[in-house]
Amino acid sequence: MTTFVLDASVAVKWAMPLAREPLTDESLRLFKRYTDGEFDLTVPDVFWAEVCNVLWKGARRGRWSRNDAEVTAADFRTRDFVTVSSLVLLPEALRIAFAYDRAVYDCLYVALAVQARTDLITADERLANALAAYLPVKWLGSF
């Protein structure tokens, strides 16, 4: 079965669809395909902190309730995404960060895609535009 690397930018959109962020519909279609068993998803361990940070910020800013954020975080923990340690990915992530002038956090996802020989699916259009010609990065809007 095919496995893709899931960026937190995509996961948050399907987690809080009522926020109506750009690409929400695309993220929900991807989620349905995942839950239908079309493919598996893998993430670097930083994914979990990034998702929860967005949930916390959204609740703090009144975009959704604290309870909604906590329920969503609990639901995410039930997903069986294979999670890879950032320590394993850091050498490649740092190389990519230096080569393409991107944040190491983002490059952890890219490094995982390189290591797993698959694609990273991201809603970060700037990241996709900067790297898609060179590395396995796919923008959610064109996936």
Residues in the chain: 143
Element holding 6 (H helix, E strand): strand 3-6
- Element of type H or E holding 44: strand 40-44
Residue identified by tokens 């329920």 is 71
Give pLDDT, residue 1. Answer: 81
Specify the fold of 3-142.
Answer: Rossmann fold (3.40.50)
What is the residue extent of each domain of the chain?
3-142
Stretch 54-70: mean pLDDT: 92
The pTM score is 0.93
Mean pLDDT score of the chain:
93
- Lowest-confidence region among 16-30, 70-84, 106-120, 128-142: 16-30
pLDDT for residue 63: 87
Contact 33, 26 (CB under 8 A): no
Report CA-CA distances (Å) from 59 to 54, 56, 65, 103, 133: 9, 5, 5, 25, 36
The amino acid at 10: V
pLDDT at 60 over 70: yes
> Tokens in use for 42?
């893998």
Average pLDDT over residues 66-86: 92
